């Protein structure tokens, strides 16, 4: 135990010694770093620069370390070091520099070669010394350097520079001075800008307006709403300002109006200035409560179309008992855009009272408006809406309304409506019957398949038969076990002896695709009733599962019926293409069998269309063989080219 303790102490001591050693090696002093930098002339070997950066950042505190670091950096500027290395040092004075750095850097602010670097440093050095250095340099400089100095004073928010900047509000540097005064803000800057704004031409006025808006925002931030409001009012009244500035001024004016904001918004809505209406609309939510929103509601019918649309979007966030009458009125507007916007609002504030209007719209209109009305019906809130739909559906509504009610049952997933939907299968209107079957696909369950089969076998309408088969297949797909999906149809087949009924049930089996039903169809291929044998053949040829691949190949090889052979051949190619998980060689072997059966150019083109999906030597051989057939030579060459461009799939 004692020996283990001794080993631990020795180990920790060794680690401590090594850490100190590494740290002492990894932390060179500033003199060493500056010596390395002194010959630096740029380029990708910038290791010394990064060392300087790390050193400066690690010596920002305490004050003694910072002062010592600053002194050494300033002394470096008096050496014979390269200009590039001096520029690098100057830029680091931005981090630790003080008044001494300002004194050293001030002359450089007017040096065309060093001004950018000196300004970069001085701008971030706090204190009045830096302010005065920048102001003095600005008064002497010209051109681009003067513009940058002006901008720097603005970014520093140097109030002491306002008088100097005010003298530049006309002439070459007017834009820069105006922008800087806006950044500085406060009473003195605002006092300088306001008379200049009034006297400025249109081009300069926009920049001055932007700066005045910044001053106003500064007042707002300082809780001086009276001062900011005065600026906003002045700018909002200038009609020839750019629209974005007018909007910003009006937004500010509303925001600083307190209890007067609501009446101000109402006045904007009553006016004819649409852009200003948009500003008012954007502030409705902040200034109108559920109790006062009726003021806005009363103004909606008189608004232009674009403003009505925006207000309706805002109203959708209010309690329905306050805004529903207005939204319902808008839903009857002559403007399609307004009606559509109202439908959107009804998704949030609508109830059963909106149902009739929406059904009417959906039944009479087409395209986007019909879609919007249907979507809104689907999203109306509340059980009463479901109950009303079921009630109306049971009252033999007009055909158009009946179709929309059935659509609503589907869209809202009203499972309680299943009985009344099934009753509509007896409607004399074909569209109602069709929609009933489609709705049952959504709300029905596999237990409803017998009901649908009864309808399938009783109707003589071919369109209804097709829809019933589709509904049967859709309900069967809701059964988890794939080999149980055709159980209801198989059971019905056992009871049906008439050819027409068995044929319809065969079609249903084909759509369901339950492989356990294939033996039933195989047995019927040799039925002496040609119609039944034909239906069984067509059902197998329509099969989507690869389980029928050998069946259709056999039909293609042996059937005496040319139509059946053609259908089977096409089905075989389709099923080969579908099974992408086979070994390519096996798929190509099937395609070679198909080639032996292909009598028409169309059949050969089908093979060549699938062949590149199974790239392998055997596929290339088959395509090369088909090159000799002049009828498909071009297609064979195209297939070869495609296969040569893609790698052969890996063996599975």
pLDDT digit string, tens, across residues 293-324: 999 999 999 999 999 999 999 999 999 999 99
Categorize the per-residue pLDDT at 416 as very low, low, confident or very high, splitting at 50, 70 and 90: very high
Region of poorest pLDDT, from 135-144, 472-481, 546-555, 641-650: 641-650
Q: Of 266, 203, 270, 205, give the one whose Cα is nearest residue 234.
A: 205
* Share in percent of the chain as helix, strand, coil (round to 5): 75, 0, 25
Cis (ω within 30 of 0) for the bond into 216?
Answer: no
Residue spans of alpha helices (H) in 157-224:
162-166, 174-184, 186-199, 202-221
Q: What phi-psi label fits residue 151: left (phi over 0), alpha (psi between -120 and 50 degrees) or beta?
A: alpha
Note whether 283 and 253 are within 8 A (CB). no
Handedness of CA 77, 81, 83, 87 (dihedral sign): negative
pLDDT in tens, 256-279: 888 899 999 999 999 999 999 999
Measure the CA–CA gap between 324 and 315, rounded to whole angstroms. Answer: 9
The pLDDT of residue 9 is 53
d(CA 442, CA 438): 7
Residues 6+ apart with CB under 8 A from 13: none
Query: Does 341 score more than 80 pLDDT?
Result: yes
Distance CA 459, CA 441 (A): 18
> Is the Cβ–Cβ distance between 262 and 287 less than 8 Å?
yes
Contact indicator for 515, 545 with CB cutoff of 8 Å: yes
Tokens of 101: 């750095």
pLDDT over 50 at 384, yes or no? yes
Q: Take residue 119 and report the two structure tokens written for it.
A: 């300004």
Say whether pLDDT at 236 is over 90. Answer: no
Distances (CA, A) of 564 to 445, 539, 555: 35, 11, 7
| Residue 10 binned pLDDT confidence (cut-offs 50, 70, 90) | very low
Which residues, at least 6 apart from 18, have a Cβ–Cβ distance to it below 8 Å? Answer: none
Contact between 553 and 580 under an 8 Å Cβ cutoff? The reply is no
DSSP type of residue 647: P
Q: What is the pLDDT of residue 241?
A: 87
Is residue 48 over pLDDT 70? Answer: yes
Q: What average pLDDT does range 133-157 have in this prediction?
A: 94
Residue 547's closest CA among 483, 489, 503?
483
Reply yes or no on whether the pLDDT at 20 is more than 60: no
How far CA 246 is from CA of 78, 277, 281, in Å, comes to: 54, 12, 15
- Picking from 244, 301, 310, the residue whose alpha carbon sits closest to that of residue 277 is 310
Which tokens sit at 649? 């799939």
For the stretch 565-617, pLDDT in tens is 999 999 999 999 998 888 999 999 999 999 999 989 999 999 999 999 999 99
User: Residues, the chain, total?
Assistant: 652
CB 406 within 8 A of CB 420: no
**Alpha-carbon distance values, 361 to 14, 343, 404 (Å):** 87, 10, 10
Quote the tokens at residue 572.
Answer: 């075989």
Q: What's the mean per-residue pLDDT of the chain?
A: 91
Taking a C-beta distance cutoff of 8 angstroms, is the pair 315, 325 a contact? no
Q: Which pLDDT does position 649 carry in this prediction? A: 57
Are the beta carbons of 520 and 540 closer than 8 angstroms? Answer: no
Give me the residue spans of the domains in the chain: 563-652
Identify whether the C-beta of residue 629 lies closer than 8 Å to the C-beta of residue 598.
no
Q: How far apart, in Å, are the Cα atoms of 465 and each of 204, 216, 531? A: 76, 73, 17
Lowest mean per-residue pLDDT among 82-91, 148-157, 272-281, 452-461 = 82-91
Cα separation, 418 vs 479, whole angstroms: 19
Distance CA 637, CA 112 (A): 70
pLDDT, position 307: 96
Lowest mean pLDDT among 13-22, 164-173, 516-525: 13-22
C-alpha neighbours within 13 Å on the C-beta side of residue 113: 4
Report pLDDT for 279: 95
How far, in Å, are 230, 364, 365, 409 from residue 388 at the CA level? Answer: 57, 20, 22, 11
Beta carbons within 10 angstroms of residue 541's beta carbon: 24
Band of pLDDT at residue 537, cut at 50, 70 and 90: very high
pLDDT, residue 6, reads: 54
Q: What is the pLDDT of residue 237?
A: 85
Task: Report whether pLDDT(28) > 50.
Answer: yes
pTM of the full structure: 0.74
Q: 3-class SS at 649?
A: coil
Is it the case that residue 188 has pLDDT exceeding 70? Answer: yes
Six token digits for residue 383? 């059980």
Residue whose entry in the numeric block shows the structure tokens 């089977």: 568
Does the structure show a pLDDT above 60 at 645?
A: yes
650 pLDDT more than 80? no
User: What average pLDDT score do residues 110-116 get?
Assistant: 89
Residue indicated by tokens 């064979």: 636
* Cα–Cα distance measured from residue 213 to residue 255, given in angstroms and rounded to the nearest whole number: 13
pLDDT given at position 201 = 79
């Amino acid at each position: 135990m004692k020996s283990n303790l001794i080993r631990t102490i020795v180990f920790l001591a060794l680690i401590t010694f090594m850490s100190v050693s590494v740290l002492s090696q990894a932390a060179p002093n500033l003199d060493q770093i500056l010596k390395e930098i002194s010959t630096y002339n740029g380029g990708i070997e910038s290791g010394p620069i990064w060392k300087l950066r790390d050193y400066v950042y690690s010596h920002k505190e305490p004050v003694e370390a910072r002062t010592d670091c600053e002194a050494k950096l300033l002394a470096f500027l008096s050496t014979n070091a390269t200009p590039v290395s001096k520029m690098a040092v100057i830029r680091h004075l931005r981090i630790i520099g003080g008044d001494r750095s300002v004194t050293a850097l001030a002359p450089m602010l007017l040096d065309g070669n060093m001004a950018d670097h000196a300004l970069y440093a001085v701008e971030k050095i706090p204190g009045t010394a830096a302010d005065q250095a920048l102001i003095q340099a600005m008064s002497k400089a010209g051109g681009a350097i003067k513009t940058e100095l002006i901008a720097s004073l603005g970014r520093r928010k140097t109030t002491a520079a306002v008088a100097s900047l005010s003298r530049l509000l006309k002439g070459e540097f007017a834009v820069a001075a105006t922008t800087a005064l806006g950044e500085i803000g406060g009473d003195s800057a605002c006092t300088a800008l306001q008379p200049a704004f009034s006297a400025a031409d249109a081009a300069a006025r926009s920049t001055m307006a932007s700066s005045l808006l910044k001053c106003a925002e500064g007042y707002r931030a300082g809780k001086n709403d009276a001062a900011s409001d005065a600026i906003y009012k002045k700018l909002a009244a200038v009609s020839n300002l750019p629209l974005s500035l007018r909007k910003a001024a009006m937004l500010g004016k509303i925001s600083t109006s307190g209890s007067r904001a609501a009446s101000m918004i109402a006045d904007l809505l009553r006016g004819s200035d649409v852009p200003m209406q948009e500003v008012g609309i954007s502030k409705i939510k902040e200034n109108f409560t559920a109790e006062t929103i009726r003021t806005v509601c009363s103004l909606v019918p008189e608004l232009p179309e674009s403003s009505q649309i925006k207000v309706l979007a805002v109203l959708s966030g209010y309690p329905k008992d306050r805004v529903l009458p207005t939204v319902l009125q808008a839903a009857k507007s002559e403007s399609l855009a307004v009606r559509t916007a109202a439908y959107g609002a009804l998704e949030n504030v609508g109830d059963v009272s909106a149902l009739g209007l929406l059904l009417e719209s959906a039944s009479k209109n087409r395209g986007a408006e019909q879609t919007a009305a249907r979507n809104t019906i689907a999203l109306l809130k509340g059980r009463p809406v479901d109950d009303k739909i079921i009630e109306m559906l049971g009252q033999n509504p007009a055909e158009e309304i009946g179709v929309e009610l059935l659509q609503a049952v589907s869209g809202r997933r009203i499972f309680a409506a299943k009985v009344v939907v099934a009753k509509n299968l007896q409607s004399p209107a074909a569209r109602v019957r069709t929609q009933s079957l489609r709705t049952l696909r959504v709300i029905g369950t596999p237990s409803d398949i017998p009901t649908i089969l009864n309808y399938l076998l009783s109707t003589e309408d071919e369109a209804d038969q097709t829809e019933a088969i589709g509904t049967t297949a859709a309900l069967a797909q809701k059964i988890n076990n794939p080999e149980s999906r055709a159980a209801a149809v198989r059971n019905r087949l056992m009871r049906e002896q008439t050819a027409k009924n068995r044929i319809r049930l065969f079609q249903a089996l084909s759509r369901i695709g339950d492989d356990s039903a294939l033996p039933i169809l195989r047995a019927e291929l040799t039925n002496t009733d040609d119609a039944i044998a034909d239906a069984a053949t067509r059902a197998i040829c329509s099969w989507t599962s690869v389980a029928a691949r050998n069946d259709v190949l056999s039909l293609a090889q042996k059937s005496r019926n040319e139509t059946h052979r053609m259908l089977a051949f096409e089905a075989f190619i389709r099923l080969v293409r579908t099974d992408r998980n086979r070994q390519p060689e096996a798929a190509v072997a099937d395609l070679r069998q198909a080639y032996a059966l292909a009598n028409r150019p169309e059949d050969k083109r089908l093979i060549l269309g699938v062949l590149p999906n199974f790239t392998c030597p055997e596929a290339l051989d088959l395509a090369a063989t088909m090159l000799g057939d002049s009828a498909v030579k071009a297609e064979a060459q195209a297939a070869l080219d495609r296969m040569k461009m893609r790698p052969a799939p890996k063996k599975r």
